[in-house]
Amino acid sequence: MDTGWIVSLIVTSFLILVILAIAFMMDRKYIVREKGRINYQKTKIFLRWNVFDTMSIALAIYAIICVQILNYLVASGLTINNVFVQFFTNQTQVWTFVSISYLISRISMTIKSIKVRWGGHIE
């Protein structure tokens, strides 16, 4: 692996550790669990804007910036042998995947919470 890939892996690892630290703190503070399962009736965080929503927007913006920089570098004639192309290629892939995964899980948890609170039907 070249320098760009290694630096990108280090940056990604650091950011993921920060995200997981915030996730564990939020989980312990706001998620109500009974018998190991989330109690959607008592857990209110899924129906409110939270720190993860703000962070997911920041990560999506970061991924868009990485894509634009990568487009500029490739349009300038640089190839995958360039350190910056390697870095932005890896960052773009990782954070796009993470942003989409969070969006899907957030929608799923919000829908589950709505179903539990309003009995599956809204008039």
Residue 42: the pLDDT is: 82
User: Is residue 123 over pLDDT 60?
Assistant: no
Q: Which regions of 26-76 does DSSP assign to beta strands (E)? A: 33-34, 37-38
Distance CA 112, CA 40 (A): 7
Residue 88: the pLDDT is: 95
Distance CA 112, CA 71 (A): 39
User: Is residue 112 over pLDDT 90?
Assistant: no
Residue 15: the pLDDT is: 92
Distance CA 78, CA 48 (A): 44
pLDDT digits (tens, 9 = 90+) for 20-66: 898 888 878 888 888 888 888 888 888 888 888 888 899 999 999 99
- Which of 44, 47, 41, 49 has the alpha carbon at shortest distance from 117? 41
- What is the rounded average pLDDT of the residues 79-85? 93
Distance CA 35, CA 51 (A): 26
